[in-house]
Amino acid sequence: DGGITQSPKYLFRKEGQNVTLSCEQNLNHDAMYWYRQDPGQGLRLIYYSQIVNDFQKGDIAEGYSVSREKKESFPLTVTSAQKNPTAFYLCASSTSGQDEQFFGPGTRLTVL
Amino acid sequence: GENVEQHPSTLSVQEGDSAVIKCTYSDSASNYFPWYKQELGKRPQLIIDIRSNVGEKKDQRIAVTLNKTAKHFSLHITETQPEDSAVYFCAASISARQLTFGSGTQLTVLP
């Protein structure tokens, strides 16, 4: 799982600002995912991408945007339209034909 | 869409005892059921998974059982150790990619 990196580890944002979270993997995985984790809750899917230049909305996509220009990278932008963005964000990836998702170390976003 | 409920939310056991965590799912089309362990401040890691064509799977002290008729599956940890203390998440998937997670169980193993 060391092949998935997220940066930064901690991020502080002022209200009204957009912020982009980085996710990179060198596992040659086709699929990548973004989850949001709130205290005492499970992981909720924001967006996922199964191939380059294609992505789909998950359960809570409103206020978020993504891009998948390269196989290795799947950045997530938290826009000012996201009303409650403070959370722990986890990126994951998986390979074709396998269901296991490998997670990155996460980014903790705090809105001040 | 899929809905996964997980119980209990917290569980304390004495070291050496067994722990059982249960999950129910709503969509009978779900066919993949992984369990993840997340230690404090760290990433979730897969500990065991099961597919709908199998009723039980074991890996050393960990086992998962699946009842498709009742739409529930359970994680069993035997001979618990302090290092088993963590949050455990179940999940279910229809398309093998879009996981729906339960809300998690905080397991504490008391020495």
Interface check B80 vs A, CB under 8 A: no
**Does B65 contact A at CB distance below 8 Å?**
no
Q: Do residues A76 and A19 make contact, with C-beta atoms less than 8 angstroms apart?
A: no
Minimal-distance CA residue of chain A relative to B5: A42
List per-residue pLDDT tens for chain B, 111 residues long: 889 999 999 999 999 999 999 999 999 999 999 999 999 888 999 999 999 888 999 999 999 999 999 999 999 999 999 999 999 999 999 765 789 999 999 999 999
Q: Name, in order, each residue with C-beta under 8 angstroms of B22's C-beta and a sequence gap of 6 or more.
A: B6, B7, B72, B73, B74, B75
| Alpha-helical regions (H) of A39-112 | none
A75 min Cα distance to partner chain B (Å): 18
Q: Please indicate whether, in this complex, the C-beta atoms of B43 and A43 are within 8 angstroms of each other.
A: no
Query: How many whole angstroms from its chain centre is CA B4?
Result: 11
Per-residue pLDDT of chain A (112 residues; tens, 9 = 90+): 459 999 999 999 998 899 999 999 999 999 999 999 998 788 999 999 999 999 999 999 999 999 999 999 999 999 988 889 999 999 999 987 677 899 999 999 999 8
Say whether B101 sits in a helix, a strand or coil: strand
DSSP-assigned beta bridge partners for residue A70: A73
- Closest residue, chain B, to A88 (C-alpha): B41
Across the interface, of A40, A48, A103, the residue whose CB is closest to B44 is: A103
The pLDDT value recorded for residue A2 is 54
